[in-house]
Amino acid sequence: MSELLKMAGQATTITFDCYGTLIDWAAGLTGSLSRLFPTARRAVAHKIAEPPTTPDLARLYVEVEAEVEAEGYRRYREVMRETALRMGRKLGQPVSAEQSARFAAELPTWKPFADTNQGLQLLKSRYRLGVLSNIDRDLFVETSRHFSVDFDFVITAEDVGSYKPELGHFERLLSSEATRDQVIHVAQSQYHDGRACRELGIAFVWINRYKDARTEEADPLAEFLNLIGFAHAVMH
């Protein structure tokens, strides 16, 4: 904690992952998947119990999304559409183009965690705030209506042509917004954010929203269960 407080004292900028850190990605995704696959009945290749439960569908979504993103950059709206189509084939419940588009269009309706806006407001009184997100610009604009603060800058996958954990977002951050000794990156995902911060020497704070196990991918300065805990720690 002392290392975090030292870094917080010299930092001018705090950046955030959005979906999973500020927005309740798990709740939003599982709700959208339950509407997309209300009667999914067939087991999939990695032996999901039949019928799949909503958490099973979410795990499958993460796996298929990673496959789609690994094929090369495409806009995130298209990633969501393609992921939905491939999930439908795996589950034996075909998804139409209209259904996949509707699924992607639901993303901006996903809501923030209860503590998000209070934490952002506290931090905004001292720091520049930015977002580094695997998202399209237009989708983030819609999502930003849920926040009670204006971010000083936003770096999206659309801006850099790649998805975290690739380094594009973080390299853009360091080249255009802050030096390593000026920034703390705050995120839920050890995989998408923590490993990149470790590789580039960026201070990383882990918001363990979903009570995940610690991995060796990240080297956080500190761990908190929510954003408000982090905000109180660095503001007092």
Contacts of 38 (CB under 8 A, 6+ apart): none
Give pLDDT, residue 2.
83
> What residue has token string 């067939």?
42
Q: Which of 112, 54, 52, 108 is nearest to 77 (CA)?
A: 108
Residues 73, 142 within the same domain: no
Question: Are residues 168 and 198 part of one domain?
Answer: yes
In what order do the strands lie in the sheet containing 128-133? 153-156, 128-133, 13-16, 183-187, 203-207, 222-224
Q: Can you give the CATH number for the domain in which 53 is found?
A: 1.10.150
Q: What pLDDT is stored for residue 40 in this prediction?
A: 58
Q: Which of 80, 109, 138 is the last residue of a domain?
A: 109
Picking from 76, 109, 142, the residue at the C-terminal end of a domain is 109
Whole-angstrom Cα distance, residue 50 to residue 59?
Answer: 14
Q: What domain count does the chain have?
A: 2
pLDDT given at position 44:
44
d(CA 76, CA 157): 8
**In b/e form, how buried is each residue of 140-155, taking b as 16+ CB within 10 angstroms?**
beebeeebebebebbb
Q: Is residue 20 located within the same domain as residue 131?
A: yes
For 64-92, the pLDDT digits (tens) are 999 999 999 999 999 999 999 999 999 98
The answer on 30 and 10 residing in a single domain is no
Same domain, 130 and 205: yes
| pLDDT for 54 | 55
Together in a domain, 120 and 217: yes
Question: Both 115 and 105 in a single domain?
Answer: no
Average pLDDT over residues 178-193: 96
Residues 116 and 99 in one domain: no
Global pTM?
A: 0.91
Query: pLDDT tens-digit profile of 30-42?
Result: 999 999 998 754 4
Residue 9 and residue 91 share a domain: no
Q: Which residue(s) pair with 133 in the sheet?
A: 156
Domain's final residue, options 109, 124, 144: 109
Query: What's the domain range around 139?
Result: 2-24+111-235
pLDDT tens profile 83-119: 999 999 999 899 999 999 999 999 999 999 999 999 9
* CATH number, domain containing residue 152: 3.40.50.1000
Q: What is the pLDDT of residue 39?
A: 72
Residues 41 and 86 occupy one common structural domain: yes
Band (178; pLDDT cuts 50, 70, 90): very high
Closest CA to 99 of 154, 151, 33, 160: 33
